[in-house]
Amino acid sequence: MNKSLGRYMLSAFFSNIGMTTWLIVANIIFFIIVSIFMSYNPKVIDYLALQPASILHGKHLWTLVTHMFMHANIFHLFFNMFSLYFIGTFLERIIGRKRFLLFYLISGIAAGVFFTLLAGFLGAGVIGSRIFGSPLVSGVGASGAIFGLLGILAVLVPRSKVYLIAGPLIAIIIQSIGEGLLNENSLTILGAAVNIYIIISLLTIFSFNPQLRKISIPIEMPLWILPIIAIVPLMFIGFFAPLPIANTAHLGGLIIGLAYGIYLRKKYKRRVAFLNRYFR
């Protein structure tokens, strides 16, 4: 085979892979590498996770970027990548590869900044830490950036129908509430039950049997209401029980996404009107 032709075919192959796919691959590779290093030295996470107190003291500023590629466990990684695939693939086709990648990174950083400022200045005390997050508790995950993408779509195609996979989220909330009410043995049993349910939910999501898919509790709704349902109830629950969810980071990503969506809607009125006629 001619070398020039080979290079062209290789270039064409990689250029056809969406930026969403590349981001998912990057997150998975990052997770594997970090997991390996953490097996030798658990303190590695201190240099990758976003801790508001450190940022406000001018330390580990790079974690504003690295935190969005770091995930707490395989379930956390799966749900974020699952969401990124469907939301990202849709949005990337609308705004293009380069703009999509740039905004993904910007919204992830903005989510980290939002989380840092609110936790750092308002997170003192029990109530403050539950609502805004503790400045001493680190945050990881791509969800802040994903909420930025969701914010754009909520403005551009608000009536498009989507599904919220509520089952695993409800299970995590129940487990978090149980931590303040149950003894150690009961918590162990509850944790095992939650993990088993989450695994079953992950498998049934891809089932062709509609009855099996109901196990994961998919809830259909217009796209504009999804970010509200995904943030407001959790912030309310977090007021009474600590949750392992950085709601303020989600809110920060969402706000910048809504702002950029409004900008795009005003600049490209005809294209947005066409999209809304197509996605009713």
Could you tell me the CATH number of the domain that includes residue 53?
A: 1.20.1540.10
Residue whose token pair is 């009410």: 181
Which of 9-13, 48-52, 238-242 bottoms out in mean pLDDT, i.e. has the lowest? 9-13
Indicate if the pLDDT at residue 277 is higher than 80: no
Q: What is the mean pLDDT of the chain?
A: 86
Most confident residue range from 8-12, 140-144, 204-208, 237-241 = 140-144
Segment 172-213, tens digit of pLDDT: 888 877 776 777 788 888 888 888 888 888 788 877 788 888
Number of independent structural domains in the chain: 1
Q: CB of 145 within 8 A of CB of 104?
A: yes
Structural domain harbouring 54: 3-278
- State the average pLDDT over residues 17-39: 93
| Residue-level pLDDT at 8 | 46
DSSP for residue 50: B
165 confidence band (pLDDT: 50, 70, 90): confident
What would the pLDDT profile of 60-117 be if each residue is shown by its tens digit? 999 999 999 999 888 889 889 989 999 999 999 999 999 999 999 999 999 999 999 9
Top pLDDT among 278 and 33 is at 33
Which range has highest mean pLDDT (24-38, 126-140, 237-251)? 24-38
> Is residue 272 predicted with pLDDT exceeding 60?
yes
**Which pLDDT score is estimated for 250?**
93
* Residue 162 confidence (pLDDT) above 70: yes
Using pLDDT thresholds of 50, 70 and 90, give the confidence band for residue 276: confident
What are the counts of helices (DSSP H) followed by strands (DSSP E) for the chain? 14, 2
* Residue 12, pLDDT score: 47
Helix ranges, the chain (H): 3-15, 19-40, 52-56, 63-66, 74-95, 97-122, 125-132, 143-156, 166-178, 184-205, 210-213, 226-240, 247-267, 269-278
How high is the pLDDT of residue 13?
47
Q: Rounded CA gap, 160 and 93, in Å?
A: 15
pLDDT beyond 70 at 6 = no
